[in-house]
């Protein structure tokens, strides 16, 4: 993709900044050490009067030596600042892509809000400590299942299903993804009406991270449009992560749960009972998103179902 060089440029800029800091820092320490040595030599050579004079001249020299260093630091910081602001103003999409790439590289999809919140809930006595700590662990490091690499077996699919779900190739599904339609046994509705911009399945990562599996369905919508609840249930987690942005999960009957991500705001709160068609969030482009859309996932326990079977506009 053509966007890749830009994050690289910013990484290079940051690298240059680090190098400048380290280099300048060592220069300063070396100079200080030298001057300390000289001062000690003078201390042994001169009398009291001579020492005072020497000390005074060194203070002046210290200041003179510090001035170009400060100027250099100022210039480096200024250039970095201007580059980042320019990037943000001229190419806002790229900066969010950079943020996504950096976040992906540093923390993957760790959800610190959920982790912190779980510990807080345990402290309030609302949850058991063991459950909370394991929840926090899963939020940050991922569950056992999510750590598995995408090399699962081909789950029984027919050609028509592949066409329906948008799979152009016969590539195997990840172990947790379910290709075939399952009967949910609950009454449901579409969370948002709009164009499906990215279906469930393998796709090229929008931020240029190569091919990856898309576990949900992206529906384009107007910023601020209401996101409706898929079915009756209870709001599970209201969170915020680098990848998903503002998101909310809803637990429905018979082990089904749904996730609504990249919202501009979540209007429901955790633990609240919701009915099918209730507005629970607003469409946005938070997290790793290149435009206003809803990322919608349907889970059956720990399995990911293809939402295309259940979202009818």
What is the spatial distance between Cα 265 and Cα 263, in angstroms, rounded to a whole number? Answer: 5
Q: Which stretch binds other proteins (CB under 8 A): 49-57, 190-198, 203-211, 233-241?
A: 233-241
> What mask of x and - would describe binding to other proteins in positions 161 to 200, judged by CB under 8 A?
----------------------------------------
CB of 102 to other proteins, least distance (A): 6
- Tell which residue, 302, 285, 305, has the closest CA to residue 294: 285
Alpha helices for the chain (secondary structure H): 5-45, 48-90, 92-107, 112-124, 129-141, 159-164
Q: With contacts defined by CB under 8 A, how many residues of the chain interact with other proteins?
A: 35
Q: Which residues pair with 240 in a beta bridge?
A: 246
The answer to whether 205 contacts other proteins (rule: CB under 8 A) is no
Secondary structure class of 300 (helix, strand, coil): strand
The answer to whether 240 contacts other proteins (rule: CB under 8 A) is yes
The answer to whether 107 contacts other proteins (rule: CB under 8 A) is yes
Beta strand 177-178 pairing with 303-305:
parallel
Taking the C-alpha atoms of 261, 262, 264 and 266 in order, what is their torsion angle to the nearest 10 degrees?
20
Nearer to other proteins, 46 or 116 (CB): 116
Q: What is the number of other CB atoms lying within 10 angstroms of the CB of residue 266?
A: 21
Q: Are 86 and 107 in contact (CB under 8 A)?
A: no
Q: Of the candidates 4, 31, 69, 99, which one interacts with other proteins according to CB under 8 A?
A: 99
What is the spatial distance between Cα 69 and Cα 288, in angstroms, rounded to a whole number? Answer: 38
Q: Which stretch binds other proteins (CB under 8 A): 46-54, 134-142, 202-210, 275-283?
A: 134-142
The answer to whether 119 contacts other proteins (rule: CB under 8 A) is yes
Nearer to other proteins, 70 or 154 (CB): 70
Task: Estimate to the nearest angstrom the gap between the alpha carbon of 281 and the chain centroid.
Answer: 20
- Tell which residue, 213, 237, 83, has the closest CA to residue 152: 213
Q: Of the candidates 141, 154, 180, 223, which one interacts with other proteins according to CB under 8 A?
A: 141
Q: Of the candidates 19, 43, 46, 105, which one interacts with other proteins according to CB under 8 A?
A: 105
The answer to whether 113 contacts other proteins (rule: CB under 8 A) is yes
Interacting residues with other proteins (CB under 8 A): 21, 99, 102-108, 110, 112-113, 115-121, 123-126, 136, 141-142, 147, 149, 238, 240-242, 269-271
């Amino acid at each position: 993709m053509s966007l890749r060089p830009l994050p690289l440029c910013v990484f290079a800029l940051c690298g240059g900044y680090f190098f400048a800091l380290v280099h300048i820092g060592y220069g300063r320490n070396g100079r200080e050490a030298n001057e300390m040595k000289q001062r000690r030599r003078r201390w042994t050579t001169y009398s009291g009067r001579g020492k005072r004079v020497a000390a005074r001249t060194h203070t002046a020299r210290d200041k003179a030596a510090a001035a170009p260093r400060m100027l250099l630091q100022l210039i480096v910081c200024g250039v970095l600042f201007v580059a980042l602001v320019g990037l943000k103003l001229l190419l806002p999409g790229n900066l969010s892509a950079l943020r996504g790439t950096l976040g992906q590289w540093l923390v993957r999809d760790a959800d610190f809000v959920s982790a912190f919140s779980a510990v807080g809930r345990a402290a309030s006595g609302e949850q058991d400590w063991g459950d909370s700590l394991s929840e926090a662990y899963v939020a940050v490091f991922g569950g056992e299942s999510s750590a598995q690499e995408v090399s699962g077996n081909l789950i029984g699919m027919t050609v028509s299903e592949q066409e329906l779900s948008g799979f152009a190739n016969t590539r195997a599904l990840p172990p947790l993804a379910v290709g075939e339609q399952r009967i949910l046994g609950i009454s449901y509705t579409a969370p948002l009406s709009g164009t499906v911009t990215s279906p469930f399945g393998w796709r090229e990562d929008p931020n240029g991270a190569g091919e990856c599996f898309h576990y949900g369905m992206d529906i384009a919508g107007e910023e601020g449009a209401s996101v409706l609840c898929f079915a009756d249930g209870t709001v599970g987690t209201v969170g915020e992560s680098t990848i998903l942005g503002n998101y909310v999960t809803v637990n429905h009957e018979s082990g089904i749960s749904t996730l609504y991500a990249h919202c501009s705001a979540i209007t429901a709160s955790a633990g609240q009972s919701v009915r099918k068609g209730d507005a629970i969030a607003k469409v946005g482009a938070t997290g790793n998103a290149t435009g206003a859309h809803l990322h919608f996932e349907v889970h059956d326990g720990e399995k990911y179902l293809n939402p295309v079977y259940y979202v009818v506009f």
